[in-house]
Structure 1
Amino acid sequence: MNRHDYAFPFRIDAVSGQAAQTSYEAHVEQMIRQVLLTAPGERVYLTRTNE
């Protein structure tokens, strides 16, 4: 698979001056790490409704 996604954390590539990209495999690993290391209550814009 020759897919590329934005790198996390988001950063600007020094050479191209555009958003840095990473391989799909590295992107998936970065997203899993983000979910596992996010503390409860850390996502300030997440809203919860009691219905």
Structure 2
Amino acid sequence: MSGPDEDRVVDLIDDLDILPDTTSDEHGTGWGDADDDNTARLLEDRPPHWG
């Protein structure tokens, strides 16, 4: 049987991202939207009276 958890040695890795700050479903791409650059779509969808 192993000893108590206080005696166990654990090597920590600084660059390991265990939990991200934001998840993919908090962004538009997580909801099926295209990428965040909507310039082409906005230019295509602009009304004809905008010239």
TM-score tier by shorter-chain length is under 0.3
More strand by share: 1
Larger relative contact order (Cα-Cα within 8 Å, sequence gap ≥ 6): 1
State which structure, 1 or 2, has the greater radius of gyration over its C-alpha atoms: 2
User: TM-score scaled by structure 1?
Assistant: 0.22
More helix by share: 2
